[in-house]
Every structure is written in structure tokens, then in C-alpha cells.
A and B are shown apart, each in its own frame.
Chain A
Amino acid sequence: MKEPKFKSSLFSRAAIGMAVASLVLAACGAAPTAAPTAAPTAKPADPTKPAATAAPAEPTKPAAPPATAAPAAAPTAAPAAAPANSGNIIIGGFDVGPGGFPERFDNFNAGAGHYAFEFYLSKLVRYCDTTLSKMCGDLAEKWEVSADGKTVTFFLRDAKWHDGTKVTADDVAFTIARQLDKGVGRYSGNFAALTGAADYAAGKTDKLAALTVVDAKTLKIALDKPNPPLLDTLSFIGIIQKKQWEKVAPADFPKSDIWKNGIIGSGPFIFSKYVPGQYVEFLPFADYYGGKPKVDKLINRFFPEAGTALIALQKGEIDFTYVTIDELDKVKGNADLKVIEGPSLVGQSMYFNQRIKAFDNPKVRQAVMYAIDRDTIIKTLWKGTAAPSNCFFSPAGPYNFKDSNPYKYDPVKAKALLKEAGVDPASLGELQFLTYYGDQLTKDMLAVIAEQLGAVGFKIKLRFTDTPTFNTEFYNADPKWALAWVGAGNGPEPDNVYTSHHSSEQWPKGININPIINADLDKLLDAGRTEGDPAKRTEIYQNVCKLSNELVLRAYMLESTRYGAASKKLNNFIYTPSPGGGRYLAYPEKWTK
């Protein structure tokens, strides 16, 4: 008899098994790394909590002005073919790009996704506009800081929860106290200045001494030391309803289904429906303190592939998405779309592993700066969509030290400095240069940098990995990398620099990973953290910037511009092109279509 050609056999089964396995392997290896320009911030944080020490407010914040809002232009003329999302419904790819956090709804741990949180969760305070330069009240109508800076009193406005009950100071106190409970969120480090925080966090008491609920609409927060960054931290945290959450054990917060199923917020929209893998639907909240939003429905559509979102936008199926620099031309040529741009507030820099002897010498680090032709990289590769940075802070913000050394490209000087330092770069052997950025622009840029460093004698081996691999190697007691390309959100709050630059914050306590150890810097950072006078504070951080630039604590390189594109049918639409972790202002209650 004739044998069937494909007799099923152990062999074929094994082959299929191996195919599955190789798929896993291939996928692991080739995992698409982040979005382009992206700030890494985006990815991380997930469920459970990161936090404590490090984090919170941390890096991710900007110092500067972002974005342009986009009031739109023309009123809607009847479109020839009605797009899919016609009517008074706004659909966006709000989680596309580095700011996105698709399908993760735990607001207390979110390293990204803050754009969508704005739809349904109110904060105590929020920045007044996308320049992120001034704080306004959200649930708090106003607040008062005592003369010694150690007491902050918040006066709440009349606001309602989505279930119709009143938002009270009790709810706010509950939300803040939860931040210090183990396992709840990543902001505990930011609240360390609250009186009694340590005892509460250690479980010695179940009442956080700092919080006094004066009456239903007044909350007093006591601090051990003045803490100007407090307001910025509070602008991150969505206030939750005590009644809904008090029965949830703190350790179960990140796992709670409430985040995505029936969460009661007090924001302008109600979290109405989550369809896994597809979208979240929000309905307007009639009793919102700022008035009922003017759109009938808001939809956050998920796109696993950003290219699809751009096509959906061009077709009019959605009203907004993030766009990369490469995609910009397609959008700019489209008369129906408007580009919104602003500084990413992500400082991209090259970390030196200062455990390697040569790199603990400032002259060697300065030589590296001189060896790199940063201006040409920005002009040609970035097409001018980035600005050179001098330190951790945004070049456009108030904390940048304007008279910094620009380290103009000068390979001769680089070689001279190396000689002066008595370092022969070739003797260092092959240096691993690690990054998690996977976009073509970064690949090209790092190739150029590696070549230019090669020209002064360094032997560089570039390694592009995905984020989990990067994290495993980067946050490591015995790091194998010599150089690492990292984006760090610099944010409106300058104290964000602390955990990555203060000597007390060396990994694993904080994220001072190089590590940077400098007593003068420590003094400045400690002073800035408690300085209440804005002018003095600005001066302190400008000095931090000056010092960072002189000593090249890291090879601070650039801050890119980030883009979003929106349909011109949208009015009063606001997008904040800030780093992945936020701050994403939206003011969605003002949007119309």
C-alpha cells in the first residue's frame, strides 16, 4: 500500500514541539523593543510595586514646557464619507507609544499610561497647563503652606464620586496613607517626609500621624521637613474612594480587579467598559465638578502595532495617536490632521560604569564628550528634532545652566585629555555599550557614537536588548556593561534628579547606578529637596546642572521632541508629549468634536 506522504510520527510531533519552542525563543530574542523615540519609562511599571525607595516621582519628570494644546480649527464640515467614528464620540490610541500602558490599570504603580488615567481619576492637584510650570487645584480648590513649610492644608471643593456620593477628606487621607502600605504603590519613597511615615510603613501604628482630617472638606498634612516636591507627587496619584477600597488588603491592591472593573473615580468620565485586547470605553460623568463633558463617549483603542494606529488615524477611524519622528512627514502632509509637539522631557544620556577605573576620572569622561559630534548627530539623524542637554534637567527648563560647556566636537582635544589622564583607551579592552532602545534612529546614533569613540582609541561593542534583558544586566551588582544609553524623564520637579545622582541612593537603594559619588553634589541635592523659596531652589538646581556638566557625571546628550497627531475635528484637545511615566495632562472635560 502507498504510504501517506506525511505519516504522523513521533518525529513530526517533535518537530512541531520544536517549532513552538523556537517561536518562543525567537520571540524572546527579537522582542520588539520600545517605540522609537521613546522614553523607556514607558514600559515598566506594572503591577505590583515598584517603589519604595526609588522611585516615584523620580526621574520621570520634566522640567519644562511641553506641549501645545491643539485647539482645532475648522468646524466640522460634512465629510464626504462619514468616518467610522463620526458623531460625538472621540476615539484615540491614547496608549500608543512610550506614554502608553495598555491594559494596565493600577494607577498607584503605573510607570506610564497617565494620559488615560486623566479621564476617570481626579487628583488632589494637577498642573495648570502643559507647560507644567504651575500647579492648580483638582479636587483641592486651594491649599495653604505654613510659614515653616511643615504643614500643608488642602481645602476640597464640592466634588462627587461616580456613584453620586461626595468626595471627602477621608477619601483623600485614605488614598495617601495607602501609598505607604507595603505592596500598594510605587510612591512610598515620595511620602517619606510625612510625619510618622516610617512608623506607619513599618507597621508600628495603623494611623499615619501626618494626616489630620479637619472636617469633610479639609485635610492637613504634617511634614518632618519642608517638602516642595510633595505637590508634584500628589499630581500623579488618582484619588480613590475609601468605601470601595477599604476592604481590599493593601498587599492585594496591585492584583485587585477593581482597577479595571467598576472603579469609582471622580474624574470627568466614568470607566464604563474594558474589552481585553481591544479598547476601554468611557462615558461622561454628569455630576463632574467642572460640568458634564461635551462628548458622548470616549474610547481608548489598543494597538499592538503603532503603524496600524497611524493608518487608522489617517483613515479617520481614530482621532488621535502618538507619532514617531519617522512618521511625522506622513502626518504633516495630511490636511485633516494636526501635529502636537513638545519636549519629551526625557534626557537621553550615556552612563559610564564608574567602577571601571578610567571612567572615574573626569578628564576621561570629558574626553568622551569631546569625541562625540553631538551637533551633527542632532542635525542629521534627528533632523533637528532634539536639543543638546547639559545635565539631568530639560534644556528648555529653568534648571538648565545656560553657560554650560557645550563640548564642541574636538577629537584632538579628546585625545589630549586622555593623554593627560594617563589613560590609553585601547588598554580598557572591548567595552560593552548597552541599550534597550530598539528604534532605527537610536541604532544609527549609537553606531555613530561608537565609531567616533573608536576614532580616539576606544573599542566599543554595541548591544541592543529588550527592556527585561536590559534591566537584568543594568541593575546588577556586578555589571558587565561599560557604557549604557538610557533615557530618563527629567520632569517639572527638579528633585527627580535625587535618586539617580545622590551618593546615598546607590543601587540597590536608589537608582544611582554608575555610581555618582560627589560630596558637593550631595549637599546641593539635599538643600534643593527642602528649599521652599522658588528662586533659591532654581539657583541650587542650576548649580547641580553646572557641576554635572563640568564633571560629566554622565554623558548628558540630548532631549528629543515628541509628537502626537490629532484630527482637526477635535477642539480644545490637549496632549502632553511628556515622558512615558507622565505627567500627561489631558483636561478631557474640555474636549469637543
Chain B
Amino acid sequence: MFQYVLRRLAVTIPVFIAITMAVFTLIALAPGDPMASYISPELGTDPAVIERLRHEFGFDQPIPIRYLNWLGQVAQGNLGYRIKTWDPVWPVIQQRFGPTLLLMSTALIIGILIGVPLGVYSALNKYSLPDMALTGMVFLGISTPAFLVGLGSLYLFSLQLDLFPAGGMHTLGKPESLLDTLHHLALPALILSANYIATMLRYTRAAMLDVIGEQYVTTARAKGLSERVVIVRHALRNALIPIVTVIGFSIPNLLAGAVFTETIFAWPGMGSLFIDGVNSRDFPLMMGVTLVTTTAVLLSNLITDVLYAVLNPKIRFGRG
């Protein structure tokens, strides 16, 4: 097992380099650079100044050199500066961890708590009316664009029904309190959870359907165990593996945040930071966020794989 983890970590390094290289290249190839983003179309800017800055940031170098420079700095723990504010990138990103984790993990937990039981229910009542209704809702949940749901629910639940505040994380001008933060958190978290609920529901349903027909389930029933015990202890436990995988894949999102929802709800998380970086072609910032996201993806994949073994003794990591 230990060897396996080591091997996996070793594979992670080239994957990490490949991903950051690809993203870096795409950013570099996008039209416009951070300097161009702060020329006013009306005001113009002294080209000499722009050139000096381009040189300072190394934009006059070929892309591979720029990438290596960036990688070299990252290896020394320097993510560079957010060009918009001249703040070091790492603290800027760190500030966003808390709000994004809070928002995304709340959404994920709601997703699991609602999605998994509904998935079990759906599987046990395959092709019934409630099952089909749930399936329909799931597709709606997955396919509705986030910005539409965000603005729509803000209009309905915040403005019309006055149930939730209009974005932000705290009520400004008042002392911060947990209750107040939760009040601000509720609507964006619920909106984001819709997607998780839908995903969890579908995977749980599929996984349950797979195991329900297995012989050990029939055996368990034959032993005279109650249906509840059969489903929860025998079927669900085995169905959990794909569900854990899906949850594992969701972990990186906890750090990466949600671009549209955070932007609409003025939630100071990683997603809104990233889009701000994109709009200002702030490549150190974009690369910083990418770095964090990539690391989270790679680590969570590893953790997911390790969890398999814990959950299912049938899975063993050996050679071949």
C-alpha cells in the first residue's frame, strides 16, 4: 500500500507539469495580456511604459521560457503578484480558501445527505412514478445554467420573498455573527447543492441497482434479515464505492469554488477571484488558482483510490 502511494505520487509530478503547462500555454495564447487589460481604450497609455512593464513581467519572452520562469519561481514558493492590486498571489488565494470551503462543503454535504437517500429510494422503486419524477428533476438540476438559477433565485427568494440577503457574506455595518453568515450562506449553498443532489442521486441509484441483484443480497434476505438491514448493511455498503469516487472527484471543487454562483452572490471565494483574474488577464493569479486546483485534483484522486481499499477489502493495490 505504502509503495503504491509512493508510486502514485511519482506519477503525479509529470501529470502536474503537463496540466500547468497546458493551462499556461492557453492563457498565454489568449488575446491580450495584463498590460493590455489596463490600457483605457479612451485614455491610451504611453507605449514605453507598457513595454517596460511587459519586459518586467517577461511578456517579451517566448512562452516556454516564461513557463520555465514561472515554474522555477513556484518551486521556490513564489507565485508572483496579482497584477491588479500588486498583492502577492498566495495570500490573496489563501484569503479565499475559507469562504469557498464553507460554501462548497455546505453544498456538498447537503448534496450527500439528500442525494444518497433519494438515490436508494429511487433504486428500490425503479421505474415507479416517484423514480421517474426524481430522474426528471435531476436532469433539470444538472442542465440548468448556474447563472440563470443564481439570478433567478436571487430575484425570487431574496427580492420578492425577502427570505435571504442579496449576496455578500455578512450584513455590512453590523458586527459579524455566525447566524448572519449562515443566513448569507443558505441560498448560494442550496443552489450549488442542487447539482450535487442530482449527481449523488444518479450514481447512488445506479450503484444500488448493480448490487441489489447480487447473490449475497439474496443470501442476506434468505437468512431472514430485515429489509432495512439488507439494504443498509449489505447493499448500500457495497454500493458506496462509486459514490465515494464521485465525492472524491468533488473534493477539488471545495477549493476551486463556483465561478458563476460566487460572482452572482458576491461571495468572496476562489471562483469569483479566478474570473476576476481572467477578466484582467492576470496570469500570475490565474496560474496560482490553477496550481491550487490541480494539486487538489491530484491529491483527491489519490485519496479516493486509497479509500477504495479501506471500504472494500476485495480491492488490493499490488503490482499489476
Contact = CB atoms under 8 A, between A and B. Distances in A.
30 contacts: A1-B315, A12-B249, A20-B23, A21-B19, A21-B23, A24-B30, A27-B278, A28-B31, A41-B40, A43-B40, A44-B37, A45-B40, A47-B83, A47-B85, A47-B86, A48-B49, A50-B43, A51-B45, A58-B43, A59-B44, A60-B42, A87-B173, A111-B43, A276-B268, A278-B266, A301-B172, A305-B167, A466-B32, A469-B36, A473-B31
A467 interface: yes
B39 A317 contact: no
B85 A24 contact: no
Contacts of B301: 8, 12-13
A508 B48 CA distance: 9
Given A52-B48, A315-B162, A32 B279 contact: yes
B92 A276 contact: yes
Interface in A14-30: 14, 16-18, 20-21, 23-25, 27-29
B43 A41 contact: yes
Given A307-B264, A311-B154, A436-B41, 8 more contacts: A1-B315, A21-B19, A29-B30, A44-B38, A49-B45, A301-B266, A314-B159, A581-B43
Interface stretch (A483-491, A519-527, A532-540, A559-567): A483-491
B42 A468 contact: no
A591 interface: no
A31 interface: yes
Interface in B252-300: 252, 259, 262-266, 268, 272-276, 278-281, 286, 290, 293-294, 297-298
Contact of A581 (B34, B42, B263, B298): B42
Contacts of B49: 48-52, 183
Interface stretch (B104-112, B228-236, B240-248): B240-248
Contacts, number: 312
Contacts of B48: 52
A229 interface: no
A514 to B, nearest CB: 13
Contacts of A24: 23, 26-27, 30, 278, 286, 290
A211 B238 CA distance: 82
Interface in A403-444: 436
B38 A511 contact: no
A142 interface: no
A338 B75 CA distance: 55
A499 interface: yes
B266 A302 contact: yes
A272 to B, nearest CB: 12
B131 interface: no
Nearest to B298: A13
A305 B263 contact: yes
Contact of B42 (A41, A186, A297): A41
Contact of B96 (A103, A277, A299, A466): A277
A53 interface: yes
B266 to A, nearest CB: 5
B119 interface: no
A256 to B, nearest CB: 8
A465 B31 contact: yes
Contacts of A312: 165-168
Given A24-B290, A46-B38, A468 B43 contact: no
Contacts of A2: 210, 314
Contacts of B39: 44-45, 50, 471, 475
Interface in B86-132: 86-87, 92, 95-96
B46 interface: yes
B46 A467 contact: no
B47 interface: yes
A55 interface: yes
Given A50-B38, A304-B275, A507 B241 contact: no
Nearest to B81: A255
A20 B290 contact: yes
B31 A301 contact: no
Given A17-B18, A465-B31, A471 B37 contact: yes
A46 B53 CA distance: 12
Contacts of B92: 276
A27 B259 contact: yes
B33 A472 contact: yes
A40 B36 CA distance: 13
A470 interface: yes
A301 B173 CA distance: 11
A103 B115 CA distance: 39
B43 A278 contact: no
B142 interface: no
A308 B158 CA distance: 10
Nearest to B242: A5
Contacts of B74: none
A472 B165 contact: no
A51 B151 CA distance: 39
A255 B307 CA distance: 46
A346 B42 CA distance: 9
B134 interface: no
Contact of B26 (A25, A256, A260, A302): A25
A436 B11 CA distance: 44
Given A40-B41, A276-B95, A317 B166 contact: yes
A5 B245 contact: yes
A59 B245 contact: no
A85 B206 contact: no
The list of the 10 closest CB pairs from A to B, nearest first, reads: A468-B32, A511-B44, A277-B268, A44-B40, A52-B46, A50-B45, A46-B38, A508-B47, A17-B19, A312-B166
A367 interface: no
Interface in A227-270: 254-257, 260
Nearest to A490: B42
A74 interface: no
A25 B31 CA distance: 11
A418 B154 CA distance: 53
Nearest to B245: A6
A24 B282 CA distance: 12
B70 interface: no
B225 interface: no
B26 A21 contact: yes
Contact of B279 (A31, A183, A580): A31
A111 B38 contact: yes
Nearest to B173: A89
Given A6-B242, A468-B33, A475-B39, A46 B154 contact: no
Interface string A260-294: 10000000000000011111010000000000000
A87 B175 CA distance: 14
A468 B36 contact: yes
Given A25-B26, A305-B263, A305-B266, A471 B166 contact: no
Contacts of B38: 43-48, 50, 111
A257 B87 CA distance: 8
Contacts of B47: 475, 507-508
Given A20-B294, A276-B268, A31 B278 contact: yes
A7 B308 CA distance: 10
B190 to A, nearest CB: 17
A91 interface: yes
A316 B178 CA distance: 22
Given A315-B162, A472-B33, A44 B207 contact: no
Contacts of A277: 95-96, 268, 272-273
Given A91-B173, A277-B95, A308-B167, A10 B46 contact: no
A48 B84 CA distance: 9
A570 B19 CA distance: 52
A50 to B, nearest CB: 4
Interface string B36-74: 111111111111111001000000000000000000000
